Amino acid sequence: MSTPEQYRPKTLLVTGAAGFIMSHVVDEALRRYPQCRVIVLDVMDYCATTKNLEAAIATGRCHLVRGDVCNMDLVMHVLETELPDTIIHGAAASHVDLSFKNSLRFTRSNVLGTHVMLEAMRKHNHERGAHGHDVRRFIYIGTDEVYGSVDEQCHERSLKQPTNPYSASKAAASSICNAYMRSYGMPIIETRGNNTIGPRQYPEKLIPKFVTLIMQGKAVPIHGEGDQKRSLIDVEDCARAILTVLERGVIHEVYNIEAGMEMTVTGITEKLLSVMGVPQEAWSAHVTYVRDRDFNDKRYFIDGSKLRALGFKARVGLDESLRRIVDWYRVHTNYWPNSERALVAHPELTDHMC
């Protein structure tokens, strides 16, 4: 079943948009769709902040609902009062390190949360569809990590082989999406993207963590040998990719999102040190190699040709993206006031993260 050539949302519900990626999706949506109204549903976890939404809320076309996607009564209330025609479900617990320490929390957020969103949409469409208030697009934001650690390039029909609690929870949520497509005909499209980098990201992930530590004059902790390969995409490109899928994607299909920027963790670190102006002879003083994760995937490698066929092309190269990130964190040194505990090699889930 094909979508219209250029689908345009009128009322867009975005979950998790006080966080990193989805806040950029909201900004891009407000820019692209001048007549569109945006509702953000976010539980305001440790890695979310209203500062990420200040520009969006200032437009007068976006407002924030604080609440949990696992709360069926709340989600139903939002659907019934706001009547969105489109949902982008990006709310998720996403830090792999933390998933090893508290896997049940990831199952609740990622599996139950997605199931609640899908079931609420099913009920809402059954009750409201006859009146023209049904949800016409549901974009589930997945991850390339569901394919597991691979050597061969994965396409959208490749086997899902998750290796850690985070990716397993995302694969499980993906399977529930597939069931709702097949059982109920729900209008779902899934994306599976590379590691996304850019401004406004909580500094638990590699690049913002390393930028913060280097600015503080501290050594960055590289897990294991640092030979793990990671594919990266700038957050502006990621947001454009998600909205390209929304506009032109085919319902019941999956789209990989990649930008062709692959490097080892050590290579990323060296490039970052260079961008930050650290002399090469001083690099070793800024790096320490630490115990690896309990299990660390060696490579995520996906084929994004299906998305490129819709007209998407990444615009931001790695050097430019890293420069933007460094410039932003140098200016916004107090953006994340409770981030010190996230800057260690193996962070724990602490009270301020609950």
If we measure between CA atoms, which residue out of 248, 259, 139, 128 comes closest to residue 193? 259
If we measure between CA atoms, which residue out of 188, 300, 304 comes closest to residue 238? 304
Round to whole Å and give the CA distance between 127 and 221. 53
Residue with tokens 């260079």: 274
- Phi and psi angles of residue 150, each rounded to the nearest 5 degrees, phi first: -135, 160
Range list of β-strands (E), the chain:
11-15, 37-42, 62-66, 86-89, 137-143, 188-193, 195-197, 220-223, 229-234, 254-257, 261-264, 287-290
Round to whole Å and give the CA distance between 185 and 116. 16
Indicate the helix (H) or strand (E) that contains 98. helix 96-101
Round to whole Å and give the CA distance between 138 and 222. 37
Q: Is 127 a catalytic residue?
A: no
- Which residue among 27, 68, 134, 145 is the active-site one? 145
- Which residue among 33, 140, 166, 335 is the active-site one? 166
- Which residue among 68, 97, 144, 234 is the active-site one? 144
Query: Computed over its alpha carbons, how large is the radius of gyration of the chain?
Result: 20
SS3 assignment, position 290 = strand
Q: Is 144 a catalytic residue?
A: yes
How many other CB atoms are found less than 10 A from the CB of residue 15? 28
Round to whole Å and give the CA distance between 108 and 128. 28
Long-range contacts of residues 179-185, Cβ cutoff 8 Å, at least 24 apart: 180/118, 180/122, 181/252, 184/122
Instruction: Give me 278's structure tokens.
Output: 């650290």
Q: Is 145 a catalytic residue?
A: yes
The separation between CA 116 and the C-alpha centre of its own chain, rounded to angstroms, equals: 19
The catalytic site residues sit at 144-145, 166
